[in-house]
Each structure stands twice: as structure tokens, then as C-alpha cells.
Amino acid sequence: MTDPQIERKLIEIMRIINESDRPIGARAIADELHNRGYKLGERAVRYHLRILDERGFTYKHGYNGRTITPRGAEELEEALIGDRLDFVITHIEDLIYKVDFSPKTGKGNVIVNVSYIDKDYFEDAIEIIEKSSKVSISPKIAIFDEDNHTVNVPAGKIGVGTLCSITFDGILLRNRIPVKPAFGGVIELNEWKFDRFLDLISYSGTSIDPIKIFLIRQPTSVLNVLENGSGRILANMRTISVSSVDKAQCVLESLTKSELSGMFKIGGENGSIFGAPVDAGMVGVVVSVGVNSIAAVAESGIPVNTDPVSTIMKYEDMFLP
């Protein structure tokens, strides 16, 4: 097996070749590698290029340089997906560590999702969001106009911030309860109680946030749930140790004082919770997600685009619509 450090350099060389609109030579590649922080001379680059040629990933055009082959393009795409897989979970973990919300004061940093809605539909959307608070995390929201300095809002849109359930992970961690995001999924409700997961995507196995994928697919029936207590909503599951169950239950129950709770359930000692697998010695914490209210907006026919787990803001800066 090739050294991982060599593989990383090979991928970076392929990226440079792929980004060029014409055949590119070893000297130009070495210069660009230097700009990207790789100390690789022209002779070393030629060595790596021979490996790529042998694998069929690059094609040499005489003295003019090399281009990427179709096989090389496929290999590069797989490598880029691997990078994006790391990025999603790293981004989430980074925001989790920035959460410092205190249930006692009702203040501190929380994670928010940001959804973008056309100004013409804004009032109707806010009305639906307000009615959907029972299946989200908090009835509080934030509003971002085009001139805000927190998120980039496209022209003609208004950004709506909803509390992200990954905030729970940060709160648990702050209370010395190690937590690991596991799955995002579609869960069925019966009479306002979790029944079973109908679909799951692992946070460590996708290049796009799982909840965003489900928002795009629109598998929910939040409006039906609001009407009769049964239907499909979005939820995610994280895992904690069995020894942390009682403490986690107390922490999550304490959040209701700050209008920050949502629907949640701790369990899975038998190896699964509502059909989601749980490792031995761990239990699952299932929480309805904050963008269920946004899913209801989409179900009503209002166009909306959402970035889950988008940014950090002060909970005290959010308000009731």
C-alpha cells in the first residue's frame, strides 16, 4: 500500500492538473504545490506524475504537460467526497464546542439553522413556523436581513434562524456528558409519541448534512402531525454512555424553563432505539429537529432553502414571532 502522505500529495497534484484548462507541466505543478503549502521540488513532482501515469489517472502530452483522464477524474471525485465527509462532522463538532448556553440563566451561545425565504412569502411562512413550534426545539427564531453581518442572505430573501437540535449535544458536553452525533432521520409519530425511524443517514457517512438531504427529499408530513398528532417528522440521534442516562435526563428536562426542549427520548440499552442502532455500553438520545417548522413551510408550497447547523448566536438575541 502506498504511504498515506504520498497519496495525499498525489491527490493534490491531480487537483492542480484538473483545475488547469490546458496541459500543465511539472515545474508549474511544483510552483502551485508550494503556494498550497507542499514543499515538493520539480524532480519529486515528476516522480509522483509517473505514479499517476502508471495508474491511468493522468495523460502525458509530450513536453506540453499532463491532463487528467476520465479514470483520474473519478478517482479525484471519490477523494473529494472523502474530504467532504470529514468536513461535515468536523464542522458540527466545532460548533458543539462553542455552545455555552446555561439553562439557569437562559443565556449563551446556541447553534442555529438558517433558512432563506422569498420576501413575498415571509409573513405566511412565519405564521406556519409559529404554529409548528411543538415539533421543533424552541418557538424562538432569529431574522437575518440582507445587510446582516452573520450570514450571507441572497437578494430578495430573508433569513430565518431556528434553533438546531445539535445544541443539545453542546449542552450535554458542557455538563460533562460525552456525546457523539450518530444519525439524522425520518421518524414516525403516533399520538404525539415517537414510534420508529423510517429512514436514517449517518453523520459520519455523508458529504451533506443528513437533515438537509431529508429536507430536499421532503419525506415529512409535519402538517398532518400538527392536525392529528400522527405522521412523519425529522429527528436526529446521538449516543451517550449508559452511566450518563440519569444526568442527561435531568439536564434535558431543565431546558424547558428556557423554552428550549422539543420532543426527546433516551433509550436503546437493548442495542437500538426506534430502530436506530446503538453500540454496546451506550444509549441513544433522539431529539426532534428545529427545522421541522421549516419542513412544514415547504409542505405548504412555499419555496425555502435551508442550511442546517449553520452558525452560532446568542439565545437571548432570539425572539418569539
Predicted local distance difference test score (pLDDT) of residue 2: 47
CB atoms within 10 A of CB 6: 12
b (16+ CB within 10 A) / e for 72-86: beebbeebeeeeebe
Pairing of strands 264-267, 180-190: unpaired
Residues 145, 62 within the same domain: no
Residues 109, 86 within the same domain: no
Range of the domain at 178: 104-317
Tell me, yes or no, whether 99 lies in a domain. no
Which residue, of 40, 73, 94, is where some domain finishes? 94
Place of cell 441513544: 284
Tell me the CATH number at 30: 1.10.10.10
Predicted local distance difference test score (pLDDT) of residue 306: 93
Residues 128, 82 within the same domain: no
Predicted local distance difference test score (pLDDT) of residue 3: 56
Predicted local distance difference test score (pLDDT) of residue 1: 40
Predicted local distance difference test score (pLDDT) of residue 85: 53
CA atoms within 13 A on the CB side of 142: 24
Q: What is the pLDDT along the chain (321 residues), one digit of tens a residue?
A: 445 567 778 888 998 999 898 999 999 999 888 877 777 889 999 999 999 998 899 999 999 999 999 988 888 877 665 555 556 677 788 899 999 999 889 899 999 999 999 999 999 999 999 999 889 999 999 999 988 888 888 899 999 999 999 999 999 999 999 999 999 999 999 999 999 999 998 887 666 788 988 998 899 999 999 999 999 999 999 999 999 999 999 999 888 887 887 899 999 988 999 999 999 999 999 999 999 999 999 999 999 999 998 899 999 999 998
Q: Check residue 157 and report its DSSP letter.
A: E
Strands (E), the chain: 58-60, 66-68, 109-118, 141-144, 157-163, 180-190, 193-202, 231-241, 264-267, 272-273, 276-277, 282-288, 304-314
Residues 73, 108 within the same domain: no
> What's the structural domain count of the chain?
2
Distance CA 113, CA 140 (A): 12
Residues 222, 276 within the same domain: yes
Predicted local distance difference test score (pLDDT) of residue 259: 80
- The pTM of this model reads 0.73
Predicted local distance difference test score (pLDDT) of residue 5: 67
Tell me the CATH number at 291: 3.30.70.1360
Q: Check residue 121 and report its DSSP letter.
A: G
Distance CA 254, CA 264 (A): 13
